[in-house]
Amino acid sequence: MKNKSIDDATPEEWNRLNNSSKRELAWLDEEDSTEFDSVHKPEHYNNSGLECIDAIKGMLTPDEYIGYLRGNSLKYLWRFRYKNKPIEDLRKARWYEERLISYMLEHPSDK
């Protein structure tokens, strides 16, 4: 069987490839309708399409990531009485705790 060159493709084959690529990549053209909020999706942590916490998780070992989540929860619990938005800080602490719970459910051997 002879290998085909890219130059051997017919116009129909190019059109079929182009159309399938457009369908597969249509999500890139969709308007981002993500709603941001100060607890669950702060805009300043999502400006590149990758959430900051996901990048951090990728750079840390499992033990470091668990410590990161615990530390952030403790930080918000520590300061909630001294800030102007105590409920928001408590919600942020809970967000990190929920993230930790989810991580531990997915990785039970990382305790």
Say if 3 falls within a structural domain: no
61-73 per-position pLDDT tens digit: 999 999 999 999 9
SS3 48: coil
Task: Look at residue 28 and tell me if it is in a domain.
Answer: no
Is 93 inside a domain boundary? yes
CA distance 68 to 17: 45
The list of the chain residues with pLDDT below 50 reads: 27-28, 30-33
pTM of the full structure: 0.59
5 domain-assigned: no
Distances (CA, A) of 60 to 28, 54, 67, 88: 29, 10, 10, 27
The number of domains in the chain is 1
* Rounded Cα distance, 73 and 33, in Å: 28
Alpha carbons 100 and 87: distance in angstroms, whole number:
20
**Domain presence at residue 43:** yes
Asked whether residue 56 is assigned to any structural domain, the reply reads yes
Please enumerate in sequence order all residues whose Cβ is within 8 A of that of 17, keeping only pairs 6 or more positions apart, or say none.
9
Residue 4 lies in a domain: no
